[in-house]
Amino acid sequence: MEKQNKKPFKLLDRLRSVKKGVMVENFEDLVDKGKMKLAYPTEQDVIVVLDEDGTEVEDDDYLFSLEDHTTLVLLHPGDRWSSFSTNDETDRGPAESSGRLSNILVKLENSPGSIALLTEPDLELIVDMDTDCSQFERFDAQFLKDIQQAADAHLREKGQIRDTLSLLELYHKTKDSNPEKEGKRKKRS
C-alpha cells in the first residue's frame, strides 16, 4: 500500500476560539478541510496566515516548507491578523480572564510596543490586574507597573479619540440639518 505525502497542521478559526488538527496533501486540501472543520461555509473565501506572525500562506511550496504541526489561522477577507486573540472577555469567569492576562503579559514582555494593538477589554484587564498576585511573580515588578501605566494611558487616549469623533459626528449632523443658517452666515461675512 502506497503512503500518501500528507503534512499535519493545527488550524484556528478567525477568532482563535476553535482549534483543529488536519492532515493535508496540498494548499487546496488545507483550505477545504479547514472550512469544514471550522464550520465555515464552503463558499467562504479565506486567507491562511501563520498564527505566530501573520505571514500569509498562498501556495503548496511555502505550506510544505513549514514545520509539522505549525499553527495556522483561517481569516475572512477584510480580517486583520493580530498577535492577540479578539475574544470578548465579558462572558468569561475570573480564571479564564486570569489565564488570558498571563498570555498577554508574556507577549508584552517579548514585544512591549504591541500594547498599541490590544483591544479595550484587554487593556482593562491589565489596568485592573493585582500586581501583588502570586500568579504574576515571574514578571518583574517594574515591568508590571510600567505596562499597567501604559495600558491606562492607551485606554484614556482611546476614550478621548472616541469622544472627539462623537463630537465631530454631532457637529456634522447639526451642520447638515441647518444648511440655510450656514448660507446666512456666509453672506454676513
Phi then psi for residue 71, to 5 deg, are: -90, 125
Rounded CA separation 136/120 (Å) = 21
Within a 10 A sphere around the Cβ of 46, how many other Cβ atoms? 18
Give the pLDDT confidence score for residue 174 in this predicted structure.
Answer: 85
Q: What is the pTM of this model?
A: 0.47
Residue 146's nearest CA partner among 99, 182, 113 is: 113
Residue 117's nearest CA partner among 150, 92, 139 is: 150
- The residue length of the chain stands at 189
Rounded CA separation 57/71 (Å) = 12
- Strand stretches in the chain, DSSP E: 7-12, 19-24, 47-50, 56-57, 70-75
Give the pLDDT confidence score for residue 89 in this predicted structure.
Answer: 39
Pairing of strands 47-50, 56-57: antiparallel
3-state secondary structure of 31: helix
Rounded CA separation 113/111 (Å) = 6
Residues in the chain with pLDDT < 70? 1-4, 83-97, 179-189
Give the pLDDT confidence score for residue 20 in this predicted structure.
Answer: 92
Rounded CA separation 117/111 (Å) = 11
